[in-house]
Amino acid sequence: MNPPTICFIGAGNMASSLIRGLLADQHPPSGLRAADPVPAQREALAALGVTVSEDNTLMVRGADVVVAAVKPQVLGQVLTALPDLQPNQLIISICAGVPIASIESWCPAGQPVVRCMPNTPALLRAGITALIANAAVDARAREVADRILKAAGKTVWVADETQIDAVTAVSGSGPAYFFYVMEAMIKAGVDLGLTHELARELTIETAYGAALMAREGDTQPATLRVNVTSPGGTTERALNTLAAADVARHIEDAVRNAALRAQELAREFGQP
Site for ligand NAP (CB under 6 A): how many residues?
A: 26
User: Which residues are bridge partners to 129 per DSSP?
Assistant: 155
Strand partners for 91: 66, 113
85 lies in the binding site for ligand NAP (CB under 6 A): no
**Least distance (Å) between residue 129 CB and ligand NAP:** 8
- Per-residue mark of binding to ligand NAP, 127-166 (x: CB under 6 A): ----------------------------------------
Contact call for residue 51 and ligand NAP (CB under 6 A): no
What is the DSSP secondary structure assignment for residue 120, as one 8-state letter? G
Residue whose CB is nearest to ligand NAP in the complex, by number? 12
Q: For ligand NAP, what does the binding mask look like between residues 168 and 187, x meaning CB under 6 A?
A: ----x---------------
Minimum CB distance to ligand NAP, residue 186 (Å): 22
Nearest approach, Cβ of residue 207 and ligand NAP (Å): 18
Residue 18 or 199 having the CB closest to ligand NAP: 18
Q: Which stretch binds ligand NAP (CB under 6 A): 18-26, 89-97, 103-111, 194-202?
A: 89-97
Under the criterion CB under 6 A, does residue 63 sit at the interface with ligand NAP? Answer: no
Residue 203 near ligand NAP by CB under 6 A: no
Phi and psi torsions of 167, nearest 5°: -60, -45
**Which contiguous run of DSSP H or E holds residue 154?**
strand 153-157
Nearer to ligand NAP, 38 or 214 (CB): 38
Report the helix count and the strand count for the chain, using DSSP H and E.
12, 8
Among residues 32, 65, 79, 96, which is the contact residue for ligand NAP, using CB under 6 A?
Answer: 96
Residue 118 backbone zone (phi > 0: left; psi -120 to 50: alpha; other: beta): beta
Q: Are 110 and 101 contacting, i.e. CB atoms less than 8 angstroms apart?
A: no
**Which residues are CB-contacts of 44 (< 8 A; sequence separation ≥ 6)?**
11, 16
The radius of gyration of the chain's CA atoms, rounded to the nearest angstrom, is 21
Collect all residues with Cβ–Cβ distance below 8 Å to 156 and sequence separation of at least 6: 128, 129, 130, 131
Query: Which residue ranges make up the site for ligand NAP (CB under 6 A)?
Result: 9-15, 35-38, 41, 56, 69-72, 74, 78, 94-96, 118-120, 172
